Amino acid sequence: MRTADGELDAHVVLPESGSGPGIVVLQEIFGVGGYIKEAAERLAGLGYVALAPDLYWRIEPGIALDHTEEAMGHAFQTAQKLDHALAVSDSVDALATLRKLPEVTDGKAGVLGFCLGGTLAFGVAIEGDPDVAVCYYGSGIAGMLDQSHRIRCPVLFHFGGQDPYIPSEDVDRVAACAASNDAMECHIQPDAGHAFDNHEAPMFHQPEPAARAWEITRKFLARTLPA
């Protein structure tokens, strides 16, 4: 797909019907690997056209790190090199690209992100015009709440109540913001840590909170961007 200043790869998955609304899937710090591709498959299973852009294309194109303790250092270093504003811009361009695909019905498309991608999804909601945004445990969201008035779409936030990477005060601020906005929802899984949805990361994955959060996501998308 093309951005304002270059081309990057994107993984696309179609639903069984061959068409539907679109969802841009934004990566964790590990890149677009098996987990993100499986998340795209899950969304396709719900009837969506899913597109996962390679947001590391300016740093290390195609990188997909293992979800292991050993790879964490490399993942954090790569994420620290990422220009947040450019990544949001690339994600907005990905949304525009997705909307133009003939398989996407009526140009309807949203964004869903995990971890790093959760923060970027919130950025897309601020800077772009998605039809919906779903943000899983984005650590940078609390610092962007002063721009939340610019958002014009429904937004769903997920957090773990035991997340060691995101201060509970930040989660509380996001929850308070969502409580004051009829178009926003914030759900906190009290028994979950960080990246609890990531089934490829044994040190993070928690099946029960992940299943509960995904059911919330499924129902939210069915209401706000029906397939």
- Mind telling me the catalytic residues? 115, 163, 194
Pairing outcome for strands 184-189 and 155-160? parallel
Residues 124, 133: contact at Cβ < 8 Å? yes
Length of the chain: 227
Which of 82, 31, 51 is closest to 198 using CA atoms?
Answer: 31
Three-class DSSP category at 91: helix
- Determine the Cα–Cα distance for residues 16 and 48; give it in Å rounded to an integer: 9
Residues 194, 158: contact at Cβ < 8 Å? no
Residue type at 80 in one-letter notation: Q
Strands (E), the chain: 2-3, 6-7, 10-13, 20-26, 49-53, 104-114, 133-136, 155-160, 184-189
- In angstroms, how far is CA 53 from the centroid of its own chain? 11
End-to-end Cα separation, the chain, in angstroms: 24
- Determine the Cα–Cα distance for residues 83 and 60; give it in Å rounded to an integer: 13
